[in-house]
Amino acid sequence: MRRSLYNPMGTTALVTGASSGLGVGYAHQLAQRGADLVLVARRQDRLEALAVDLAEKYGTVSTVIPLDLTAPDAVPELVADLTSRNVTVGTLVNSAGFGTIGNFVDADADRQAEQITLNILALTRLTHALLPDLISTATLHPNAAALVNLASTAAFQPVPHMSVYAASKAYVLSFTEALWYETGTSGLKVIAVCPGYVDTEFSAVAGNHQSTDRHLTVDQVMASTFAALDRSSTPPQVIVGALNAVLARAAILSPRRTVLTVAGRLR
């Protein structure tokens, strides 16, 4: 199969959740491919350190925007900031997100609302605001523009003890696949990335204490993402890890009650 290299050189990529984990991984990969960066997350010190690292390694110019995307006006403020700086975003990576573990009845209501706001609402609003620029970049610079949304293997079935998180990622997967179709003639590369557990701060925040030998690495997620983006026809989703792909497909085909029982016992 002929492969078409995703080449964002000379464009600008915005990465949310860029202060740690997968966000840092995406920032490095995009900078290595020649994109300038807009780095968005809450922790300014980490963003600034990352910007210096990217500049030293790749000569990348990074714009640091410390921002809590769960704040009510965060996305409009971010878009206004980009406009004031005359920044046109050609690639958007919605990497920011978090999960919680435990029975829903015992969960903190405000924390669950923050999870929905970050995983769903902020992602949707930011995608809507920047999609015209992404499509315009794709038209002007073929194979240079992409929308990458972080979903999860949890998107393929309900997950007891992580009910809100799994539901939010099901939304991200469905939403992204629909956009893949809607933008199909534009040249924009649209993909939902579906890893399982990744060895990042996410697990600690969620309260997951599983052995890290079951976790993917950031490098594995990056390799799967960019291999998909480098295809001449980028698929609407990529499941990271062969076993994860088998389990996700099994969840789709199995009776719902069976899926729930198995998922509930895997905590």
Q: Which residues are catalytic?
A: 165
- Residues 238 and 131: beta-carbon distance below 8 Å: no
Of 23, 197, 20, nearest in space to 99 by CA? 197
Of 142, 157, 155, nearest in space to 265 by CA? 157
- DSSP E strands in 44-85: the ranges are 62-66
Of 20, 131, 117, nearest in space to 68 by CA? 117
246, two tokens = 């088998």
- DSSP E strands in the chain: the ranges are 12-16, 36-41, 62-66, 91-94, 146-150, 189-194, 237-239
Pairing of β 146-150 and β 189-194: parallel
Task: Supply the DSSP symbol for 203.
Answer: H
